[in-house]
Amino acid sequence: MSSTAHGAPLSRIGVLTGGGDAPGLNAVIRAVVKSATHVNCEVIGLEDSFDGLLEADRWRKLTPRDVTGILRIGGTILGTANRGNPLGVPIKTTSGSRDYSERCVEVFHALKLDALIVIGGDGTLAIAYEFHKRGIPLVGVPKTIDNDIVETTNTFGFDTAVSFATDAIDRLHTTAEAHHRVMVVEVMGRNAGWIALYAGVAGGADVILIPEIPFDLEKVAHSIRGRDAYGARFSIVVAAEGAMPVGGSVSVLKAASGEYAERLGGIGGRIMAELERLTGKECRTVVLGHLQRGGSPTSFDRLLATRFGARAMELVLERRFGHMVAFHPPDIVAVPLEKVVGRTRNVPLDFDVIRAARAMGISLGD
């Protein structure tokens, strides 16, 4: 049991992972369990995001033994759910049809939890904020490969996704060059262009299309023709899934329905067809998709995730609830959740990486 200067002893906390998985989730769970155990606080792992609070049997005790060896493993040992916002949705439980949030609060107390650590992206953190307002003492940890959470320079998972996409672009270079083709690589990122921009610059792409800069394919075709003119008869186009043409709209893979948010996808295929028409060159498209979310976290993500987990436990002990841990290099700080929810961190147009890309002759489609 851990006593702090700020109140009664803490003996039991819960931890859950929500939203799309990202490499580093297990590293955070490990850090929470190890640092909690260090101060004699028990950790309860809740399964499948907040759904783990729907029934009193969807949890398990996590000891250091349970988290041994998971630092380098992708996914999450707790499972996750990416359904959007379940709050206010009636659900069937063993005690009849119930309001989702009321049921979660009830089970939180039934499990005798003193606090909750919620590891998730903007959607999960928004739900966490609602539970905080309903009296659940909790601390958030920002995760997402998209890197689109405000008030933190980095989320864990992003660096791993960028490394994977960069490697894919490297591999596509050789086949593109051999066949004198245009390869269009569609990457994830939702409505933010971080993955496309970072992987595109790191991989030496010739065109990078991001949601923050609507594109004109005539201008893209012009830059591809320019490369042909100086003898580089292939081009690599990296397109964020949320990229869109000037005056157009995003490509939607699956429309929003019920509590499920819209899923983006398909822009790579559209760009490929149009560039083939405009340039007369053979074009192909590759969608990196969920491969970007798999695999072992990079050392950067392991370190960030470990720091986030350890700091989240410190905030719990300090009873600084309703906060999210955040990376403000070189420090891990606490940011109120209310400053985070409902906002998206987009690539600033005056960002030096944008300027560097332009200086390299990369077309941003504008």
Tell me whether residue 115 or residue 197 sits nearer to ligand F6P (CB atom): 197
Q: In the bound complex, what is the minimum distance in angstroms from residue 175's beta carbon to ligand F6P?
A: 25
Tell me whether residue 13 or residue 287 sits nearer to ligand F6P (CB atom): 287
Three-state SS at 54: coil
> By the 8 A CB rule, do 126 and 341 touch?
yes
Residues recorded for the chain: 366
Tell me whether residue 294 or residue 336 sits nearer to ligand F6P (CB atom): 294
Residues that bind ligand F6P (CB under 6 A): 20, 82, 121, 144-146, 188-190, 241, 263-264, 293
The whole-angstrom separation of Cα 200 and Cα 189 is 13
Q: In the bound complex, what is the minimum distance in angstroms from residue 164's beta carbon to ligand F6P?
A: 12
Which H or E run contains 196?
A: helix 194-202
Query: Strands 283-287 and 2-4, how do they pair?
Result: unpaired
Tell me whether residue 175 or residue 344 sits nearer to ligand F6P (CB atom): 344
CA distances from 272 to 53, 217, 226, 277, 356 (A): 45, 10, 18, 9, 25
DSSP letter string, 302-351: HHHHHHHHHHHHHHHHHT-TTEEEEEETTEEEEEEGGGTTT---PPPTT-
Which H or E run contains 160?
A: helix 158-179
Q: In the bound complex, what is the minimum distance in angstroms from residue 263's beta carbon to ligand F6P?
A: 5
Q: In the bound complex, what is the minimum distance in angstroms from residue 120's beta carbon to ligand F6P?
A: 10
The whole-angstrom separation of Cα 198 and Cα 194 is 6
Q: Is 159 part of the annotated catalytic residue set?
A: no
Q: Which of 146, 148, 159, 206 is catalytic?
A: 146
Q: In the bound complex, what is the minimum distance in angstroms from residue 56's beta carbon to ligand F6P?
A: 27
Tell me whether residue 223 or residue 296 sits nearer to ligand F6P (CB atom): 296
Which pair of tokens denotes residue 85?
A: 């916002």
What is the 3-state composition of the chain as percent helix, strand, coil, each rounded to the nearest 5? Answer: 40, 25, 40
Which pair of tokens denotes residue 301?
A: 């993500």
Q: In the bound complex, what is the minimum distance in angstroms from residue 188's beta carbon to ligand F6P?
A: 3
Tell me whether residue 293 or residue 323 sits nearer to ligand F6P (CB atom): 293
Q: Which residue's Cβ has the minimum distance to ligand F6P?
A: 188
Task: Name 28's Cβ contacts closer than 8 Å, sequence gap at least 6.
Answer: 17, 119, 141, 143, 156, 305, 306, 308, 309, 312
The set of catalytic residues is 146
